[in-house]
Amino acid sequence: MNSYRSTILLMFTCIWLMVFLTGCWNSKELSAISVVMALGIDAVDDQYEVSLQVVDPSKMSQNSPMERTPTIVFSKRADTIFEAIRKLTTESSRKMYMSHLKFVIFDEKTAKKRNQGAAGLSIP
């Protein structure tokens, strides 16, 4: 009887694990996201200009000849970096996916401004 009970319990546990531990419950389709590869931040007047380089999946096909670069650059200007990125998400038809971000580039003026504000140092 004990063996029968442990077999039933093991089968129930396996079925429970198969149902609740699948890997596809939070997948993101490539047709619904824009993969961001680079982020550039520039200080212009008293605002920040944020540029995002996004991969264009339709130009990444191996079968089609390369007529132009397989990337698109979006750019917006706002008072804060966060606000500029939020404006950029409304410009694109897809959701910006920043998990594959490889480069973050600051111009010299922005780097000095952020460093001075964060550490209280003045850089010559």
Size of the chain in residues: 124
Give average pLDDT by consecutive 10-residue segment, the chain, 124 residues.
85 88 73 88 89 80 66 91 89 84 87 59 41
Quick one: pLDDT at residue 7? 92
Mapped onto helix, strand or coil, the DSSP state of residue 52 is strand
What are the DSSP calls for the chain, one per residue? Answer: -HHHHHHHHHHHHHHHHHHHS-S-TT---TTTEEEEEEEEEEEETTEEEEEEEEE-GGG--SSS--SS-SEEEEEEEESSHHHHHHHHHHHSSSEEEGGG--EEEE-HHHHHHHHHHHH-----
- The pTM of this model reads 0.65
Quick one: pLDDT at residue 110? 78
Quick one: pLDDT at residue 76? 93
Quick one: pLDDT at residue 121? 39
Contact 96, 34 (CB under 8 A): yes
Return all residues near 115 (Cβ < 8 A) that are at least 6 apart.
Answer: 121, 123
